[in-house]
A and B are shown apart, each in its own frame.
Chain A
């Protein structure tokens, strides 16, 4: 079947099977490979994108369900000229990534959190990231980066 979606502000269409996952449509059809598939079992959150403004695991949503929706992915976060957005910049400044595999999902989850709760506490950030797993960083610097992106002082946040 044919679906029409808006991805990062651009209208695009494509043919999908009933079983095509949104993650597969983004990665294989649109070649937007920034959205990562870590577990494919809705555990790790590497595949988080926004659909009509809310965070979803794109490995656990059918592409057909997204027909007519507006989707944001990691590719749409930086400006056209490559300038990182505040969350991405904070991840760089605070060493919030190592291998970077989890990072697209972390950044998209962080964006969803800050939209809902612009000044979260450290505990709220940790709680919100329950569905995003990172095998490298130990999370401290991710939490720190998100706190910094929200404009809060991160001097007191635990060691790296």
Chain B
């Protein structure tokens, strides 16, 4: 790892100021960034830790019943504290392993937008709002392809607001070596329709399976998507599975998620 300066501000304003310098980068839990720095894939001049910012940590319920999570909140805190949105708490409790969950943060996960990460499925599947130091971004506009998001240079995720659906479930088919999702599906049923977000499958990163959403909004049952299929084109093909296999998994995992959410 190349050396860098380290700064640990106590407020969002100080963090934003520290990040405005050239070559500065935010550090969340470091569970993705530190391994990347070790491989010298990235060499920032300064890391600005967000973990000392009290206003960016914790879980609460907003006036409209939405669950609000501070951008620097570790996965373990969400798993234990987001009881008002059980499917979200369960998802956080399945990320990686206990030590990873004690450090890794929701903001880091959403900023990184790994194509196999769990939180992007929850944010897109719930229609969450990603709040930054500068603006509010709807999940539908936020995810822009593998490892790509709407975030600007130096912009930090300060909180994420999740509307709570009537029923929801995240079904994760685990890739046991990395513990990421080989394919994962987040299904959420709201009064005005169903959302289905798929992670781990597409080369474009997390996506909404709109045909399944339409069918499930009619009838919220696994059989409702019997007649649908996902095209293998554009699916990830790697050591762990071919595009055909992933396309097949999307349907199977979606059905399981619906069954569990019913």
Chain A: residues with CB nearer than 8 A to chain B? 1, 17-19, 21, 40-42, 45, 48, 54-57, 60-62, 64-65, 67, 109, 112-113, 128, 130-132
Contacts and interface: CB of A to CB of B under 8 A. Distances in A.
Interface centre among A1, A21, A45, A55 (most CB of B within 10 A): A55
B152 interface: no
A65 B99 contact: no
Interface stretch (B33-41, B53-61, B109-117, B157-165): B33-41
User: At the interface, is chain A mostly helix, strand, loop or mixed?
Assistant: mixed
A47 to B, nearest CB: 9
B124 to A, nearest CB: 26
Interface residues of B, number: 27
Interface string B211-249: 000000000000000000000000000000000000000
Given A60-B103, A130-B179, A109 B98 contact: yes
A113 B76 CA distance: 13
Contacts of B102: 54-56
B8 A65 contact: yes
Contacts, number: 74
B96 interface: yes
Contacts of B105: none
B6 A1 contact: yes
A34 B37 CA distance: 25
B31 A60 contact: yes
User: At the interface, is chain B mostly helix, strand, loop or mixed?
Assistant: mixed
Nearest to B51: A65
A48 B6 CA distance: 23
Interface of B: 1-6, 8, 27, 30-31, 34-35, 37-38, 46-47, 49, 51, 76, 96-100, 102-103, 179
A19 B35 contact: no
Contact of B4 (A19, A56, A109, A128): A19
B100 A64 contact: no
Given A42-B35, A61-B30, A62-B30, A109 B99 contact: yes
Given A19-B1, A109-B99, A41 B38 contact: yes
A126 B229 CA distance: 36
Given A45-B97, A56-B102, A130-B179, 5 more contacts: A19-B2, A55-B99, A55-B102, A60-B103, A131-B99
A17 B46 CA distance: 12
Nearest to A112: B98
Contacts of A57: 99-100, 103
A105 to B, nearest CB: 9
B100 A131 contact: yes
B98 A131 contact: yes
